[in-house]
Structure 1
Amino acid sequence: MKAITIPQPGDADALVLADVPDPEPAPGEVRVRVAAAGVNRADVMQRMGHYPPPPGAPEYPGLEVSGTVEALGEGVHGWAVGDQVCALLSGGGYAELVCVPAGQLLPVPHGTSLEDAAALPEVVSTVWSNVFMTANLLPGQTVLVHGGSSGIGTMAIQLAREVGARVVVTAGSAAKLEACRQLGAEILVNYREQDFVEEVRAATGGAGADVILDNMGAKYLARNVEALAPGGRLVVIGLQGGAKAELNLGLLLRKRGAVIATSLRARPADEKAAIVAAVREHVWPLVEEGRVRPVVHSRHPLADAPAAHRELEESGHIGKILLTP
């Protein structure tokens, strides 16, 4: 098969299309012929040498795909050759074929195209596990989503809206903020011109945000804690603004707040399977009813993976970027 390899870490041109051995499904796995793969920030970090795949994962980048089941490993039940699926991966999605534990498969939702389904597994699993399973966002609460126009942001807005939460977003342009508004965000903050702490306080009568979903890490840590409501939960899922910062424990204590840092890729297979099962139960009906949808910005052929990475790093996109083998 053909896959995107990384012979040497580096810039986008470090991604090289090559012929590699076809993967064989281990017991409990299925092999999927890939129709499309989602492009994520984690892939960029892996390309640069900062985010190696966990032990046992394929060495090629790619954390989510859609496609057709081609082969079943020993002991797999509930899936058949020919099923159209999408899948959460630990790696290997930038390829024509990929093997995935059966517990990380989802059926392509009715009403969603096979290609577009690749935009769902990673972002939906990330948002559902962090905002709802971990931070327990409830109806009537306020959630602050940083990077609201990203793939994760566009999904977080829609799911928070569906549970009856009030959504505040940050983004860096009027066009991105307008896209967030159309998805259901109520308070729009241009982080280049406005202070999100002040905007959150103004929108909540001084109370603050009950949940904050943060992709920046160190750069926003102090202000995120300031923006928390009493009993608020800050969930850090990215480190685009660095990994080390000073934390005011006194302020956090007075707010009875929590700072939670999580990642999805390296979780054990049984934890991923539990998240995927929860997504299928709670989110898939919303997708099939058309209430929640994947937001796809662009598509690139697999051979043009460097161009897809450059587009992601330029941060002009709204929603997801896909690769199509």
Structure 2
Amino acid sequence: MVEWQNPKTDWAVNPKNPVPEDFNRIEGNIDFLKSDIETKKGVIVAAINDMNQPAEVTNTHAELADKIRDISNDATAVVGDVESGKTFYSAGAKKTGTLALSGTAGTGDVLSGKTFYNTALKTKRTGNMPNRGAVVLTPGTSNKAIVAGYHSGQGYVKGDANLVAGNIVSGKSIFGVAGSVNVGKKWGSGTVAATKPAEGGCLLSVRSLVFRPSFIWVEFAVDRIVRWAAPGLSPGFNTAWNTMYLYMWGYSGSDKADVKTDISITLYSNGFDIHFTGFTYPGAIAKWIAFE
């Protein structure tokens, strides 16, 4: 290939008659330019082909220009597919993306070990939300917290076939099921040994009830009987039963002695004390029955 020679560019100010050397230089430079242009055109053609647009060296420069414009015609992205502010080419034109990265999830919102992106396209994050799997809760008397984390959907709260109205006392409800059972008044019974308190007399003390009694019947094994009912709560009993007295019947053959002794009764939320002030009978066993 002929090498490029610097041309004479001062013909107007420094004219001379051309000589063969001048013509050879001019012809050589023309040949050089032709060869150089074809070589560089071939590089352009190769690049166009690399971009999946068929091109030949024999194509005119105008044709090659059209092929260059067609390079982006097969692009499928639109502005909404490209990150906002980033540019790309499509259909022969330079375009700017409008896709806004507006994710609000944090690592605690994504399952542990799973990765995600939110507002930074090139920043991959890893979640740390704990995997709770299938949690089974058993109801109790207080609320049970559902701990934060991922739940598989297979967890549940235990049910019980006995949770029906017929198993719940009327006036109470369990987990929204209103009871229908009328259990009436509570009652209790038992035996108690009499003791002698410091102030004298005889004391019966019971603390095993789950209610405050309103009616009490006490019977000693030796036929001494005490009966007591809270005044006004037992109108069906005679007046004597609504007083704070102990009536004792003592049997000796065919004789019957009616002895009255003062008593004091103290009621508690779980029982009662009966203090007989007129006699002492420590160790005696008394049977009792009490009603709410």
Q: Verify same fold: TM over 0.5.
A: no
TM-score (normalizing by structure 2): 0.16
User: Which one has a larger percent helix, Structure 1 or Structure 2?
Assistant: 1
Q: Flag the structure with larger Rg.
A: 2
Structure with more relative contact order (C-alpha pairs < 8 Å, separation 6 or more) = 1
TM-score by length of 1: 0.14
